[in-house]
Structure 1
Amino acid sequence: MRKIVLATHNPHKVEEFQAIVAETRPDLQVVAYDGPEPVEDGVTFAENALIKARAAAAHTGLPALADDSGICVDVLGGAPGVFSAYWAGHAKDAAANLTLLLDQLSDVRDPHRTAQFVSTIALVVPGDASRESVVEGVWPGRLAAAASGGGGFGYDPIFVPDGQEPDAERTVGEWTAHEKNAASHRSRAFRSLVPLLETL
Protein backbone atom coordinates (compact mmCIF):
# COMPACT_ATOMS: atom_id res chain seq x y z
CA MET A 1 0.00 0.00 0.00
CA ARG A 2 1.34 3.42 -0.98
CA LYS A 3 1.67 5.93 1.86
CA ILE A 4 0.87 9.60 1.64
CA VAL A 5 1.44 11.88 4.61
CA LEU A 6 -1.20 14.34 5.79
CA ALA A 7 0.42 17.42 7.30
CA THR A 8 -1.52 17.52 10.54
CA HIS A 9 -1.26 16.30 14.11
CA ASN A 10 -5.07 16.25 14.34
CA PRO A 11 -6.25 12.60 14.44
CA HIS A 12 -9.80 13.64 13.45
CA LYS A 13 -8.50 15.08 10.17
CA VAL A 14 -6.44 11.94 9.48
CA GLU A 15 -9.52 9.74 9.97
CA GLU A 16 -11.65 12.01 7.82
CA PHE A 17 -9.09 12.13 5.01
CA GLN A 18 -8.55 8.36 5.10
CA ALA A 19 -12.28 7.80 4.70
CA ILE A 20 -12.47 10.25 1.80
CA VAL A 21 -9.33 8.89 0.09
CA ALA A 22 -10.53 5.28 0.43
CA GLU A 23 -13.56 6.08 -1.73
CA THR A 24 -11.40 6.42 -4.84
CA ARG A 25 -7.88 5.32 -3.90
CA PRO A 26 -8.10 2.36 -1.49
CA ASP A 27 -4.43 1.64 -2.23
CA LEU A 28 -3.37 4.88 -0.52
CA GLN A 29 -2.78 4.92 3.23
CA VAL A 30 -2.99 8.34 4.86
CA VAL A 31 -0.46 8.66 7.67
CA ALA A 32 -0.14 11.45 10.20
CA TYR A 33 2.76 13.87 10.10
CA ASP A 34 5.12 13.44 13.03
CA GLY A 35 7.51 16.31 12.37
CA PRO A 36 7.74 19.88 13.63
CA GLU A 37 4.93 22.25 12.78
CA PRO A 38 5.97 24.99 10.37
CA VAL A 39 5.00 28.59 10.98
CA GLU A 40 1.74 29.18 9.13
CA ASP A 41 2.31 32.80 8.20
CA GLY A 42 0.31 32.79 5.00
CA VAL A 43 -2.66 35.11 4.62
CA THR A 44 -4.71 32.71 2.49
CA PHE A 45 -5.78 29.09 2.85
CA ALA A 46 -3.69 28.19 -0.23
CA GLU A 47 -0.51 29.75 1.16
CA ASN A 48 -0.84 27.95 4.48
CA ALA A 49 -1.69 24.61 2.85
CA LEU A 50 1.45 24.81 0.71
CA ILE A 51 3.62 25.74 3.70
CA LYS A 52 2.43 22.66 5.58
CA ALA A 53 2.62 20.27 2.61
CA ARG A 54 6.15 21.37 1.70
CA ALA A 55 7.31 20.87 5.28
CA ALA A 56 5.76 17.40 5.53
CA ALA A 57 7.16 16.28 2.17
CA ALA A 58 10.65 17.51 3.07
CA HIS A 59 10.57 15.87 6.51
CA THR A 60 9.18 12.48 5.48
CA GLY A 61 10.23 12.08 1.86
CA LEU A 62 6.64 11.06 1.07
CA PRO A 63 4.08 12.76 -1.15
CA ALA A 64 2.28 15.13 1.18
CA LEU A 65 -1.22 16.50 1.48
CA ALA A 66 -2.08 19.50 3.59
CA ASP A 67 -5.47 20.97 4.24
CA ASP A 68 -5.99 24.52 5.38
CA SER A 69 -9.59 25.12 6.09
CA GLY A 70 -11.95 27.23 8.08
CA ILE A 71 -15.31 28.86 8.30
CA CYS A 72 -15.99 32.13 6.52
CA VAL A 73 -18.92 34.16 7.80
CA ASP A 74 -20.35 36.66 5.34
CA VAL A 75 -21.45 39.28 7.87
CA LEU A 76 -17.93 39.22 9.34
CA GLY A 77 -16.35 39.90 5.96
CA GLY A 78 -15.16 36.31 5.59
CA ALA A 79 -13.75 35.95 9.12
CA PRO A 80 -12.67 33.87 10.97
CA GLY A 81 -11.27 32.45 7.69
CA VAL A 82 -7.60 31.52 8.01
CA PHE A 83 -7.82 32.36 11.73
CA SER A 84 -10.61 29.83 12.41
CA ALA A 85 -8.46 27.56 14.60
CA TYR A 86 -7.20 30.50 16.67
CA TRP A 87 -10.33 32.67 16.77
CA ALA A 88 -10.43 32.72 20.58
CA GLY A 89 -6.64 32.76 21.03
CA HIS A 90 -3.53 30.70 20.33
CA ALA A 91 -4.61 27.82 22.56
CA LYS A 92 -6.55 26.36 19.60
CA ASP A 93 -9.54 25.78 21.90
CA ALA A 94 -12.34 24.55 19.61
CA ALA A 95 -15.06 25.05 22.22
CA ALA A 96 -13.89 28.60 22.96
CA ASN A 97 -13.73 29.41 19.24
CA LEU A 98 -17.29 28.22 18.73
CA THR A 99 -18.60 30.08 21.79
CA LEU A 100 -16.93 33.32 20.74
CA LEU A 101 -18.31 33.13 17.20
CA LEU A 102 -21.83 32.49 18.47
CA ASP A 103 -21.50 35.44 20.86
CA GLN A 104 -20.34 37.73 18.06
CA LEU A 105 -23.41 36.77 16.00
CA SER A 106 -25.90 36.77 18.86
CA ASP A 107 -27.82 39.78 17.50
CA VAL A 108 -27.60 38.79 13.83
CA ARG A 109 -30.87 37.53 12.38
CA ASP A 110 -31.08 34.20 10.56
CA PRO A 111 -31.14 35.53 6.96
CA HIS A 112 -27.79 37.22 7.60
CA ARG A 113 -26.03 34.26 9.23
CA THR A 114 -24.78 32.82 5.93
CA ALA A 115 -21.36 31.19 5.95
CA GLN A 116 -19.19 28.74 4.05
CA PHE A 117 -16.78 26.06 5.11
CA VAL A 118 -13.73 26.33 2.84
CA SER A 119 -11.07 23.67 2.36
CA THR A 120 -7.91 24.19 0.36
CA ILE A 121 -5.77 21.08 -0.17
CA ALA A 122 -2.18 21.21 -1.36
CA LEU A 123 -0.33 18.23 -2.84
CA VAL A 124 3.46 18.31 -2.87
CA VAL A 125 5.66 15.56 -4.30
CA PRO A 126 9.16 15.70 -2.78
CA GLY A 127 12.05 16.37 -5.10
CA ASP A 128 9.86 17.74 -7.89
CA ALA A 129 9.10 21.45 -7.66
CA SER A 130 6.75 21.14 -10.62
CA ARG A 131 4.51 18.71 -8.70
CA GLU A 132 2.76 21.22 -6.46
CA SER A 133 -0.99 21.57 -6.81
CA VAL A 134 -3.74 23.33 -4.90
CA VAL A 135 -7.49 22.67 -5.07
CA GLU A 136 -10.41 24.20 -3.20
CA GLY A 137 -13.80 23.04 -1.98
CA VAL A 138 -16.59 25.29 -0.68
CA TRP A 139 -19.58 24.11 1.39
CA PRO A 140 -22.24 26.82 1.72
CA GLY A 141 -24.70 27.13 4.57
CA ARG A 142 -25.46 29.26 7.58
CA LEU A 143 -24.81 29.32 11.31
CA ALA A 144 -27.33 28.09 13.85
CA ALA A 145 -28.13 30.18 16.92
CA ALA A 146 -26.89 27.43 19.24
CA ALA A 147 -24.72 24.33 19.02
CA SER A 148 -26.36 20.93 18.59
CA GLY A 149 -25.12 17.41 17.98
CA GLY A 150 -22.09 15.61 19.30
CA GLY A 151 -20.54 14.59 16.00
CA GLY A 152 -17.80 16.16 13.95
CA PHE A 153 -15.41 18.71 15.40
CA GLY A 154 -14.58 22.40 15.32
CA TYR A 155 -17.50 24.50 14.09
CA ASP A 156 -19.55 21.49 12.91
CA PRO A 157 -22.15 21.77 15.72
CA ILE A 158 -23.24 25.24 14.54
CA PHE A 159 -23.01 24.84 10.75
CA VAL A 160 -26.24 24.11 8.88
CA PRO A 161 -25.44 23.18 5.25
CA ASP A 162 -27.59 24.39 2.39
CA GLY A 163 -29.74 21.93 0.45
CA GLN A 164 -31.57 20.26 3.34
CA GLU A 165 -35.32 19.95 3.67
CA PRO A 166 -36.51 22.99 5.69
CA ASP A 167 -38.34 20.84 8.24
CA ALA A 168 -35.38 18.48 8.67
CA GLU A 169 -32.39 20.79 8.83
CA ARG A 170 -29.52 19.63 11.00
CA THR A 171 -26.12 20.97 11.95
CA VAL A 172 -23.14 18.94 10.79
CA GLY A 173 -22.73 17.95 14.43
CA GLU A 174 -25.91 15.91 13.94
CA TRP A 175 -24.74 14.24 10.73
CA THR A 176 -23.11 10.83 10.57
CA ALA A 177 -19.46 10.66 9.56
CA HIS A 178 -20.51 9.03 6.28
CA GLU A 179 -22.92 11.86 5.47
CA LYS A 180 -20.31 14.49 6.24
CA ASN A 181 -17.55 12.78 4.26
CA ALA A 182 -19.82 12.63 1.20
CA ALA A 183 -20.73 16.33 1.23
CA SER A 184 -18.10 18.31 3.12
CA HIS A 185 -15.79 21.03 1.87
CA ARG A 186 -12.88 18.59 2.16
CA SER A 187 -14.63 15.96 0.05
CA ARG A 188 -15.45 18.61 -2.55
CA ALA A 189 -11.82 19.72 -2.67
CA PHE A 190 -10.62 16.13 -2.76
CA ARG A 191 -12.77 15.31 -5.78
CA SER A 192 -10.73 17.90 -7.68
CA LEU A 193 -7.55 16.31 -6.35
CA VAL A 194 -8.33 12.74 -7.49
CA PRO A 195 -6.91 13.11 -11.02
CA LEU A 196 -3.66 14.43 -9.51
CA LEU A 197 -3.38 11.48 -7.10
CA GLU A 198 -3.74 9.09 -10.00
CA THR A 199 -0.32 10.20 -11.21
CA LEU A 200 1.43 9.16 -7.97
Structure 2
Amino acid sequence: MVDEALKLRREYRVPFWEAVLLIARRDSIEVDAVLEAANHHQPMEAFKNIDLVANSVTPETLDGLITSLESNQVLTFSSQITLIDGSTIHIPMLDFRIRPNPENLNLATMIVDHAGLSGHIFDSGNSYHFYGTSTVDGAAGLANFLGKFSLFAPFVDQRWIAHQLIEGACALRISRGKNFAEPPRQVRYVATPGSNRTALGS
Protein backbone atom coordinates (compact mmCIF):
# COMPACT_ATOMS: atom_id res chain seq x y z
CA MET A 1 0.00 0.00 0.00
CA VAL A 2 2.79 2.41 0.91
CA ASP A 3 4.72 1.52 -2.24
CA GLU A 4 1.65 2.20 -4.39
CA ALA A 5 1.01 5.49 -2.60
CA LEU A 6 4.62 6.57 -3.11
CA LYS A 7 4.36 5.67 -6.80
CA LEU A 8 1.21 7.79 -7.17
CA ARG A 9 2.92 10.68 -5.41
CA ARG A 10 6.00 10.34 -7.60
CA GLU A 11 4.15 10.01 -10.91
CA TYR A 12 1.04 12.14 -10.41
CA ARG A 13 1.81 14.33 -7.35
CA VAL A 14 -1.10 12.75 -5.47
CA PRO A 15 -0.66 13.69 -1.79
CA PHE A 16 0.79 10.67 0.00
CA TRP A 17 -1.83 10.40 2.74
CA GLU A 18 -4.71 10.92 0.33
CA ALA A 19 -3.33 8.05 -1.75
CA VAL A 20 -2.89 5.82 1.34
CA LEU A 21 -6.45 6.47 2.54
CA LEU A 22 -7.98 5.82 -0.89
CA ILE A 23 -5.97 2.61 -1.38
CA ALA A 24 -6.89 1.39 2.12
CA ARG A 25 -10.58 2.01 1.46
CA ARG A 26 -10.40 0.42 -2.00
CA ASP A 27 -8.66 -2.72 -0.73
CA SER A 28 -10.31 -2.85 2.73
CA ILE A 29 -6.88 -2.75 4.38
CA GLU A 30 -7.28 -2.02 8.12
CA VAL A 31 -8.92 1.32 7.43
CA ASP A 32 -9.19 2.12 11.14
CA ALA A 33 -5.43 1.74 11.66
CA VAL A 34 -4.72 3.88 8.61
CA LEU A 35 -7.07 6.59 9.89
CA GLU A 36 -5.25 6.53 13.23
CA ALA A 37 -1.91 7.02 11.48
CA ALA A 38 -3.29 9.78 9.23
CA ASN A 39 -4.56 11.60 12.33
CA HIS A 40 -1.06 11.91 13.80
CA HIS A 41 0.25 15.43 14.44
CA GLN A 42 3.75 16.09 15.79
CA PRO A 43 3.55 19.31 17.85
CA MET A 44 6.39 21.82 17.63
CA GLU A 45 6.90 21.62 21.38
CA ALA A 46 8.17 18.07 20.87
CA PHE A 47 11.22 19.52 19.18
CA LYS A 48 14.00 21.79 20.42
CA ASN A 49 12.81 25.39 20.12
CA ILE A 50 15.15 28.38 20.01
CA ASP A 51 13.75 31.84 20.79
CA LEU A 52 15.61 34.71 19.16
CA VAL A 53 15.33 38.46 19.75
CA ALA A 54 14.36 40.14 16.47
CA ASN A 55 17.58 42.11 15.98
CA SER A 56 19.65 38.96 16.50
CA VAL A 57 18.10 37.17 13.51
CA THR A 58 20.88 37.69 11.00
CA PRO A 59 22.31 35.54 8.19
CA GLU A 60 25.32 34.88 10.41
CA THR A 61 23.12 33.69 13.29
CA LEU A 62 21.15 31.36 11.05
CA ASP A 63 24.32 30.05 9.38
CA GLY A 64 25.72 29.28 12.83
CA LEU A 65 22.59 27.37 13.84
CA ILE A 66 22.58 25.42 10.57
CA THR A 67 26.28 24.57 10.89
CA SER A 68 25.68 23.16 14.39
CA LEU A 69 23.00 20.72 13.18
CA GLU A 70 23.64 17.00 13.30
CA SER A 71 23.19 14.98 10.09
CA ASN A 72 19.67 13.88 11.05
CA GLN A 73 18.48 17.35 12.09
CA VAL A 74 16.84 20.19 10.17
CA LEU A 75 16.25 23.81 11.10
CA THR A 76 12.77 25.20 10.55
CA PHE A 77 11.58 28.78 10.81
CA SER A 78 8.40 29.55 12.77
CA SER A 79 5.88 32.16 11.66
CA GLN A 80 5.13 33.26 15.22
CA ILE A 81 6.53 36.53 16.56
CA THR A 82 5.88 37.52 20.17
CA LEU A 83 5.73 41.27 20.72
CA ILE A 84 6.89 43.14 23.81
CA ASP A 85 3.29 43.40 25.08
CA GLY A 86 2.91 39.60 24.88
CA SER A 87 0.64 39.56 21.83
CA THR A 88 1.54 37.54 18.76
CA ILE A 89 1.69 38.20 15.06
CA HIS A 90 2.61 35.82 12.25
CA ILE A 91 4.64 35.95 9.06
CA PRO A 92 2.43 34.58 6.24
CA MET A 93 4.04 31.34 5.04
CA LEU A 94 3.01 28.75 2.45
CA ASP A 95 4.10 25.33 1.24
CA PHE A 96 3.21 24.64 -2.39
CA ARG A 97 2.72 21.22 -4.03
CA ILE A 98 4.07 21.94 -7.52
CA ARG A 99 7.40 20.83 -8.93
CA PRO A 100 10.04 23.54 -9.43
CA ASN A 101 10.06 24.66 -13.07
CA PRO A 102 9.51 27.99 -14.85
CA GLU A 103 5.81 27.36 -15.52
CA ASN A 104 5.08 26.44 -11.92
CA LEU A 105 7.10 29.36 -10.58
CA ASN A 106 4.79 31.60 -12.59
CA LEU A 107 1.78 29.72 -11.17
CA ALA A 108 3.03 30.24 -7.59
CA THR A 109 3.56 33.91 -8.39
CA MET A 110 0.00 34.20 -9.75
CA ILE A 111 -1.43 32.63 -6.59
CA VAL A 112 0.52 34.95 -4.28
CA ASP A 113 -0.35 37.98 -6.41
CA HIS A 114 -4.01 36.94 -6.69
CA ALA A 115 -4.20 36.95 -2.90
CA GLY A 116 -2.79 40.49 -2.83
CA LEU A 117 0.46 39.66 -1.06
CA SER A 118 4.10 40.64 -1.45
CA GLY A 119 6.94 38.37 -0.44
CA HIS A 120 9.68 35.91 -1.30
CA ILE A 121 9.28 32.61 -3.16
CA PHE A 122 11.87 29.92 -2.43
CA ASP A 123 12.68 26.75 -4.36
CA SER A 124 12.61 24.05 -1.66
CA GLY A 125 14.10 21.36 -3.89
CA ASN A 126 10.74 19.63 -4.23
CA SER A 127 8.33 22.54 -4.61
CA TYR A 128 8.08 26.18 -3.52
CA HIS A 129 7.87 27.98 -0.17
CA PHE A 130 6.53 31.48 0.34
CA TYR A 131 7.32 34.08 3.03
CA GLY A 132 5.22 37.24 3.12
CA THR A 133 6.70 40.65 3.90
CA SER A 134 3.64 41.76 5.88
CA THR A 135 2.22 40.13 9.03
CA VAL A 136 -1.16 38.88 10.24
CA ASP A 137 -2.51 39.34 13.76
CA GLY A 138 -2.76 36.42 16.17
CA ALA A 139 -4.33 33.00 15.73
CA ALA A 140 -7.44 34.35 14.02
CA GLY A 141 -5.42 36.22 11.41
CA LEU A 142 -3.28 33.17 10.71
CA ALA A 143 -6.32 30.89 10.42
CA ASN A 144 -7.98 33.30 8.01
CA PHE A 145 -4.82 33.49 5.88
CA LEU A 146 -4.33 29.71 5.75
CA GLY A 147 -8.03 29.09 5.15
CA LYS A 148 -8.04 31.36 2.12
CA PHE A 149 -4.97 29.67 0.66
CA SER A 150 -6.42 26.19 1.18
CA LEU A 151 -8.84 27.18 -1.61
CA PHE A 152 -5.87 27.00 -3.99
CA ALA A 153 -5.37 23.25 -3.42
CA PRO A 154 -3.99 21.15 -5.04
CA PHE A 155 -1.38 23.80 -5.93
CA VAL A 156 -0.78 24.46 -2.23
CA ASP A 157 -0.23 21.64 0.27
CA GLN A 158 -3.57 21.30 2.05
CA ARG A 159 -2.31 18.73 4.57
CA TRP A 160 0.54 21.08 5.51
CA ILE A 161 -2.08 23.80 6.05
CA ALA A 162 -4.07 21.45 8.30
CA HIS A 163 -1.02 20.80 10.50
CA GLN A 164 -0.27 24.53 10.77
CA LEU A 165 -3.87 25.25 11.80
CA ILE A 166 -3.65 22.56 14.49
CA GLU A 167 -0.34 23.99 15.69
CA GLY A 168 -1.43 27.62 15.59
CA ALA A 169 1.79 28.57 13.78
CA CYS A 170 3.55 27.81 10.51
CA ALA A 171 6.96 26.22 10.06
CA LEU A 172 9.14 25.75 6.99
CA ARG A 173 12.57 24.16 6.57
CA ILE A 174 15.46 26.59 6.02
CA SER A 175 18.37 24.12 6.19
CA ARG A 176 19.39 21.00 4.32
CA GLY A 177 17.17 18.03 5.06
CA LYS A 178 17.20 14.25 5.09
CA ASN A 179 16.15 14.15 1.43
CA PHE A 180 17.57 17.52 0.40
CA ALA A 181 21.26 18.21 -0.15
CA GLU A 182 20.71 21.98 -0.29
CA PRO A 183 18.64 24.46 1.72
CA PRO A 184 15.73 26.27 0.02
CA ARG A 185 16.91 29.18 -2.15
CA GLN A 186 15.12 32.38 -3.05
CA VAL A 187 14.05 32.46 -6.69
CA ARG A 188 11.62 35.37 -6.91
CA TYR A 189 10.35 38.41 -5.06
CA VAL A 190 6.67 39.20 -5.66
CA ALA A 191 5.84 42.89 -5.29
CA THR A 192 2.99 45.30 -6.02
CA PRO A 193 0.10 42.98 -5.13
CA GLY A 194 -2.63 42.74 -7.74
CA SER A 195 -0.66 44.30 -10.57
CA ASN A 196 -0.57 41.05 -12.53
CA ARG A 197 -3.73 39.48 -11.15
CA THR A 198 -5.31 36.79 -13.30
CA ALA A 199 -8.38 34.75 -12.39
CA LEU A 200 -7.25 31.13 -12.13
CA GLY A 201 -9.33 28.82 -14.24
CA SER A 202 -10.97 31.59 -16.28
Between structures 1 and 2, the one with greater strand share:
1
TM-score (norm 1): 0.29
Larger radius of gyration: 2
Provide the TM-score with structure 2 as the length reference.
0.29
